[in-house]
Chain A
Amino acid sequence: MLRFIARRLVALVPVIVILSVAVFLMIHLTPGDPVRLMLGDSATQQSIAALRQALGLDQPLPVQYLHWAFQAVRGNLGRSIVTNEPVTQAILTRLPVTLELSVLAMLVALVIGLPTGVVAALRRNSWLDYGSTTLALSGISLPSFFLGILLILVLSLRFRALPPGGYVPFVTNPVQNLKLMIMPSLALGAALAGIISRMMRSSLLEVLDADYVRTARSKGLRETQIVVRHAIRNALLPVVTIVGLQTGTLLGGAILTETIFTLPGVGRLIVDSIFARDFPMVQGVVLFLALVRVLSNLATDVVYGFVDPRISYSS
């Protein structure tokens, strides 16, 4: 297993180099002069020259990349040109909000997606199956920002049951924190719930048709025992992959959800930075989110090895 993880880590090196080059080149592929864009039309020649020098843009491109990459490896992603805050610090300050939102959204997705998928598979081609399938596809088709707005409209503005937005850390006020996170988690988790439900249904249908389930039935095991002890446990394996692969996507999807519910997370940070033309911040957040996705994919591979005894990493 350790050798497998080491091999995967080595294989990640070229991927990380390529994505770092892509992120680095962002600022250079901007049409026109990026420094002038950042500072606006009223900028003086001196301020333009100063920022160009501060960002190292007066150096040859390979030198700029090596300097930037070397600093990034050390955790230094530069400073915001708007607030002068170190980019890494800005990300780390906002990360707990995005992580909490992603974890709660994942919980929502599992709580809705798994039972509906199981019911759909066990009652194949019944109205329960059709209803569950329609619900799942609706979740996938509903834009998270629209669902978020509908939730605010109904639960906050009409019934005044939940606050429409804002954030209080969990450690400061757990009850208020959870109240504030219910709607964002539902909005972000709905699409993933649909994906998990569809995956669970097809996976369970495949397992229920397998030889060992037929053997269990012929041995006279009760249906509940067959489904719970044999079928669902094995059908969960592909779902584990989906859950893992979606972790990085959830962090990306948090951009829209955090914007609607005014959550001060990493997603909101990137949107605000784009509007402020704070390119070092945009670069830093994009690189960070891409790295999180790469590492969560690696973690999925490793976890899959633990939960599926058929997978051998030695060969």
Chain B
Amino acid sequence: MSRSRTTDTTAAGLESMAAQALPRKSPGFVRRLARNPPAVAGVVVICLAVFVAIFAPFVSPYTPTAQHTDDILQAPSGRFLLGTDDLGRDTLTRIIFGARVSLMVGVIAVAIGLVLGSVLGLIAGYLYGLVDSVIMRVMDGLLAFPALVLALAITAMLGPSLVNVMIAIGVTGIPSYARLVRGQVLALRGLDYVVAARSLGQRPTKIVVAHILPNTIAPIIVQTSISIPGAILAEAGLSFLGLGVQPPTPSWGAMINTAQGYMLRDPWVVIAPGVAIFVTVLAFNFLGDALRDALDPRLR
């Protein structure tokens, strides 16, 4: 009887330890973010960009490929708020539709890196030993490539297209997530609640998914907030070089590339998409900075 009670008590203790693995939301997190004016400005700009991207056909004055042949290279006016390009297409409309491409690449490319990198990091950190060594050496090999060079090499192999740009940028993000998550798992795997879960006979998959993964979320969020603007810049760079999104699909980087030839005559065609990239990336960087501060326990 007594023995059974002891077992129950131990099991309850272990259960409660294992339950500690659940992430606790800090009540001050949102308040800390809200008190940071650049972060608020960042959130507003990001929400606006997402809204505009989703409802592009409804909020843009024209279609992105509509050519107004009598209004080529027009300066901003009441009819064309940001002017027109060399084919008479409305710049504002193309910027609005370009937001779709930039945000889509930003989110999907980062998601590719996040999912694959996190899975590899979890496996490496939890299994440790030979598996860890092999995975991390491959990650070190990938990290050796400057990100833009690796993305260029992959698009050179696969050919320029929207999907291939996402793959190329996504692959460059895998090692950072793998290293980040592996580090977190190594720090967590010896903690009491993980040992407790293991002692209770929980399967490794359950331990990883239910107890370890939730506790790696904070650094993953911060890394993601840094990665998205990086991906947007990388897409713009690849499209600027002509190795990203192909015409006539509007992309901010490609718009700058094609507008270079007549930027003296009509600077707006270059400046408008450049400012769109700058403002969007700056908004993500403001938010990323604030998230890093808000989620850093030392700064609370």
List residues of A whose CB falls within 8 A of some B CB.
14-19, 21-23, 26-27, 29-31, 134, 137-138, 140-146, 149-150, 153, 157, 248-249, 251-253, 255-256, 259, 270-271, 274-275, 279, 282, 286, 289-291, 293-294
Residues of chain B within 8 A (CB-CB) of A23 are 153
Q: Is the CB of B140 within 8 A of A26?
A: no
* Given A140-B285, A286-B145: A256 and B152 interface contact (C-beta under 8 Å): no
CA A134 to CA B285, docked complex, whole Å: 10
Q: Is the CB of B144 within 8 A of A290?
A: yes
B146 at the interface (CB under 8 A from A): yes
Q: Is the CB of A30 within 8 A of B236?
A: no
Residues of chain B within 8 A (CB-CB) of A255 are 148-149, 152, 241
Residues of chain A within 8 A (CB-CB) of B157 are 26-27, 29-30
CA A144 to CA B240, docked complex, whole Å: 11
Q: Which DSSP category, helix, strand, loop or mixed, fits chain B's interface?
A: helix
B132 at the interface (CB under 8 A from A): no
B230-255 CB mask vs A (1 if < 8 Å, else 0) is: 00010011001111000000000100
Q: Is the CB of A293 within 8 A of B278?
A: no
Subset of 19 A-B contacts with CB under 8 Å: A16-B144, A19-B144, A23-B153, A26-B157, A137-B289, A140-B285, A143-B233, A143-B277, A146-B270, A150-B274, A153-B270, A157-B264, A249-B147, A255-B152, A256-B240, A256-B241, A282-B156, A286-B145, A286-B152
What is the minimal beta-carbon distance from B278 to any residue of chain A, in angstroms?
5
Q: Is the CB of B146 within 8 A of A149?
A: no
CA A76 to CA B68, docked complex, whole Å: 54
Residues of chain B within 8 A (CB-CB) of A14 are 137, 140-141
Q: Is the CB of A31 within 8 A of B158?
A: yes
* Given A153-B263, A259-B241: A252 and B148 interface contact (C-beta under 8 Å): yes
Q: How large is the interface on B (under 10, 10 to 19, 20 to 34, 35 or more residues)?
A: 35 or more
B286 at the interface (CB under 8 A from A): yes
Q: Is the CB of B274 within 8 A of A22?
A: no
Chain A residue with Cβ nearest B284:
A141
Chain B residue with Cβ nearest A271:
B241
Q: Is the CB of A286 within 8 A of B141?
A: no
CA A143 to CA B256, docked complex, whole Å: 11
**Contact residue among B138, B155, B264, B277 (Cβ-Cβ distance under 8 Å from A18):** B138
